[in-house]
Amino acid sequence: MQIIPAIDVIDGKCVRLTQGDYSQKKIYNEHPLEVAKQFEDAGLKRLHLVDLDGAKAGKVKNWNVLETIASKTSLSIDFGGGIKREEDVKIVFNSGATMTTVGSIAVKNETEFVRWLLIFGADKFLLGADVKDEKIAVSGWTETTDIWVYDFIQKYMEHGVEQVFCTDVNKDGKLEGPSSELYKNIIAKFPQLHFIASGGISSLKNIEELVEMGCGGVIIGKAIYENKISLKELTNFAS
């Protein structure tokens, strides 16, 4: 089980939203690098870095935050938010990301995303499947499609995608526990997939449950910032 802490960035600051709502924004630290170093010092290896300004603008904005964290820590960073063009992918990799996180482009422009998989390598992409009632949601969760999450994952696994993280829109940022039944179903259908749970994690018990069901990783954000789970607990869990 990989413990993957999350840093969401607006105006270069570490923030969290509730259910993707920009009006429900809380600033936790003015300096994301400080937060990243705390994660590194705790022995964690990965970082999920989200450019919320980029997600809103439809192009990468906070690449300088990525560059700073990548150059000053040894964390393996996946970076996402507003990646719509090949130029954005190049900026992300040139700024030090290990993986590029994509979601909306895979839903709205399959041809372009498949082209990227061929150019950069499918192992360089972390596919985000945001879900509402087992259907894919896009555009900051304001739009629900009629695409079944299982069909979505199947399609891109056939194109070589190895890692997928899934966020249940109804759970994110609410600290009410993960979407366990959904995750169990996905893991049962795709046992070879490196599946990463995301959203709703509120306790160490939640993480233990995710391990039991076979999750390969878990993205944790608000639970860390609201001191529901300590970095010491995560260190012990990861080691």
Q: Which of 51, 53, 88, 130 is catalytic?
A: 130
Give strand pairing partners of 2: 217
Helices (H) and strands (E) in the chain, counts: 11, 12
Q: Which of 8, 78, 168, 172 is catalytic?
A: 8
From 95, 15, 11, select the one nearest 54 (Cα to Cα).
11
What tokens does 208 get? 């233990």
Listed in sequence order, the residues at least 6 apart from 151 whose beta carbon sits closer than 8 Å to its beta carbon are none
Residue 146 is among the residues annotated as catalytic for this protein: no
**Exposed, middle or buried by CB within 10 Å (0-12, 13-18, 19+), for 111?**
exposed
N residues, the chain? 239
Residue 88 is among the residues annotated as catalytic for this protein: no
Active site residues: 8, 130
